[in-house]
Amino acid sequence: MVNLQKAMHEMMIRVAKRESNAKVRPLEKKIKELNLAARLMRKLIDRQQKEILALSKNITPEDKIQPLPPEALEKARLTPKLIAMLRKKLKLSRKDFGKLLGAASNTVFLWESGRSKPRDSYKAKIISFRSLGKRKIMEMLKEDKPKS
């Protein structure tokens, strides 16, 4: 009787192992496939982050400014006094303001004194500065400065 009980017990263990293996093996295959896919995704993400970093180093302040439609450019009033007020509001020197625009500090002086008017390209940049905050402008200025 003891042998029969032992034989039944061993038989039940074998059947249980066989059935559990039949359920687990396909899942193990899926897990391996998912791990491979996750590895490939991590590699892709790493590669894309490196590309983004490389591209972000090549972005100039002018690229960060959203272009204005021609209608908005025509409607916008830009007086010498407004240019000076905007520069002072942003707490920028003429040199820094000109650097952000891609113009010389003397040019900014001429605009503010009313001796000359900014071209449409500069006018668009100045108008877009109105919508940007002081922090954003300072970030742009810091990114534009060469690292020593």
pLDDT tens per residue, range 15-28 = 999 999 888 888 99
| 53 and 42 belong to one structural domain | yes
pLDDT tens per residue, range 68-110 = 666 777 777 888 999 999 899 888 999 999 988 889 999 999 9
| 51 and 105 belong to one structural domain | no
| 53 and 70 belong to one structural domain | no
| 83 and 129 belong to one structural domain | yes
Q: Number of folded domains in the chain?
A: 2
Residue with tokens 């003429």: 94
| 69 and 53 belong to one structural domain | no
108: containing domain? 61-144
**Average pLDDT rounded to a whole number, residues 23-40:** 93
| 37 and 94 belong to one structural domain | no
| 110 and 69 belong to one structural domain | yes
Q: Which of 60, 64, 67 is nearest to 121 (CA)?
A: 67
| 83 and 140 belong to one structural domain | yes
- We report the CATH number of the domain holding residue 127 as 1.10.260.40
* pTM of the predicted model as reported, rounded to 2 decimal places: 0.51
| 41 and 69 belong to one structural domain | no
Q: Which of 129, 99, 97 is nearest to 112 (CA)?
A: 97
Residues in CB range of 26: below 8 A, 6 or more apart: none
Which of the four pLDDT bands, split at 50, 70 and 90, describes residue 147?
very low
